[in-house]
Structure 1
Amino acid sequence: MFVSVEEARTLLSALLPERETEHVPLALAYGRTLAADLIAKVSHPSATESALDGIACRGADTLLASRDTPVRLRLVGESRAGQAFAGEVGAGEAVRIYTGAPLPDGADAICPVEQLQDAGDDIVLLRPALSSDVRHEGGDFRAGETVLRAGVRLTPSRVALAAALGHAEVPTLRPLKVAVMSTGDEVVEPGQPLTAGQVYNSNAYGLLGMLQEAGCQAALLPAAPDSPEALELALTSIGGADVLLTSGGVSMGKYDFVRDLLIEGGQVSFWKVRMRPGGPAMLGGWRGLPVFGLPGNPVSSLVVFHVIVRPALTGQPLSTLRLRAGTPFRGLADKTAFWRAEVRGAEVFDYAKQGSGVLRSLSEAGALVVMPEGSSAEVGDEVDVVLMG
């Protein structure tokens, strides 16, 4: 059964288990997916405050201040974080103020310390004080406002924002547990001696990293040899995983036993995707365990994961940019093409080596240009670009 990239994502998503909600402390929230909206418990800033070190005063008193015509104000106190000025700033008066300190009553502008000169009990301004250097209460967000929405991935900046909202713990979706297993007699673990025709198990370690970046709990299984009996034993012994990712054994060859095993003893939703690279990918099940079979070629395996598997696991759509083509990109009549490319500024250029075995291309190129079925692009055309980093 041949499917499109979009259909493959949808079918995989339908097989994944429903995600439970877990409340976790902020220190453990990074990389997780938010399960419910987060509402601000406080306003930020919590008070109108200064954006820099300097003096707070009435802006109208300083409109003519310059190096040629400095303005002198009388210092009447200071305001700092944790200890605000208790009085009110009157005409011709100023208060020393520090970044984040509450703005005193009566003041409406700030002049930075770099534009000031001390003069005993007075302060001399060499430029006007500006209201733009005042941070107003609730200027970032207000108490009761919904700031973070359910479904977003908790990046470091979002975890920091959750803390600023006043949440010590957050509701998140339980991470999916994903098992990774390479197949093939030729697969050897890195560090072991390599003989002619063998390859190191690069797919598994690339997939482990991508799963961790996607916020999943990943487990690496021993590689399975090219034997129906050994493969069946390996699949049957897997416990506790929500989904299994295999690499290799899903094409049309004599020793592609993953495909044969699922056809004969499991379930198969599809076994070809209309894409390049990565056409020989399949989705099925084995005794209730969803199994997604990735191609054995390293580039194909990682590209299929990025454009099909990752969006399904995270619930986030594939993110693309619109850039100008710096070189032509050809299309394919019946497949979506994902050409490796290099981004330079606002343009994207074809990476010369597009072979599915050229693993270094993903490291050096860092992007994929998406060419839908039957389309192509000339120099200067806008194209969709997927960043692989």
Structure 2
Amino acid sequence: MMRTRPLKVALLGCGVVGSEVARIMTTHAEDLTARIGAPVELAGVAVRRPSKVREGIDPALITTDATALLKRGDIDVAIEVIGGIEPARALIHTAFEHGISVVSANKALLAQDGAALHAVADAAGLDLYYEAAVAGAIPLVRPMRESLAGDKINRVMGIVNGTTNFILDKMDSTGAGYQEALDEATALGYAEADPTADVEGYDAAAKAAILAGIAFHTRVRLDDVYREGMTEVSAADFASAKRMGCTIKLLAILERAADGQSVTARVHPAMIPLSHPLASVREAYNAVFVEAEAAGRLMFYGPGAGGAPTASAVLGDLVAVCRNKLAEATGPGESAYTQLPVSTMGDVVTRYHISLDVADKPGVLAQVATTFAEHGVSIDTVRQQGKDGEASLVVVTHRAHDAALTGTVEALRKLDTVRGVASIMRVEGE
């Protein structure tokens, strides 16, 4: 039977995503009612700049007092699309204190304080849903949290930031340098005026923390995620990658240790074989590759950002939370029963591509090879090119611990014959 009293929704934030949420709620009102089993009504929209024209939104709904909106007593669900830590965190706590379930797209807050927010929601018997916090429109959080709940996920590797993928794709396909590709991304609206959060990996690291917590049923905070940006990736790196049959992507990689007793979470640029599904992800798209014990390998692909795609994920969560409200139930909360430790980057085992600037004279290669051997890092291939007393030496290793590779590089820098370490890049996905 259809309930006649509408479920009332408070929208906190009305930027690119929030305005799309409001538009879809209005234009698809009948469909949402049929899918939920009750009308859903936008009861108020909290904004910072009330004078801004917002097409399709009744001005009477606009308020600058988000706290008062949540405290008025008739709100069932709050949608938080403000972003950042404060005031979003305080407002979500206020919502829970007043019996309001929350849908959020706030990756930074969830990566930092997800455990605390889940604890408050669980204690109050309320929902906290956040599909839109990771990979935009791509259904990823709920499949990992629910569809794969009976399976054991061992590895997650993905492209979770569209801006960086656009830049690297342009560098690969056109031969553009980093700055040229970034300028194009900015002109097209893919990169912010300050692209630091994207190109330095902070955005991807927040998403990695959220995904790792879900995948491994353990608490992983943003500080637990090893992070490297991609600003140092050069045309020379792409040239080397192509010689190896690879391309370069900024990857979030989450792994369960072979003995199952720990996990690692990292974000950094890496070479991956052109045969790997992630290598073909172009432009600003996202894709996540999940490896589970029973299900095998699964790939989730689609637009990872933008107003409409992200709003689609928000509305999917809204439907689920509203259905739970009608059933007087809640969906799955935090699952952190394994309490696995998060290992440091030094424990990661992978292959490496190291480019060295060296003196072009006899014995250099022997010195370099000896240094690798002394640190327990086995060399797979070496390529040397010399000119005018200088040479470049490209070494690709077998699998080794990151700590061993770090020690090797420190020792190489001390050699008189090594004039510089031009680049270090991990090789993944083989």
TM-score range, shorter chain: under 0.3
Greater share of residues in strand: 1
**TM-score normalised by L of structure 1:** 0.27
Greater share of residues in helix: 2
**TM-score normalised by L of structure 2:** 0.25
Flag the structure with larger Rg: 1
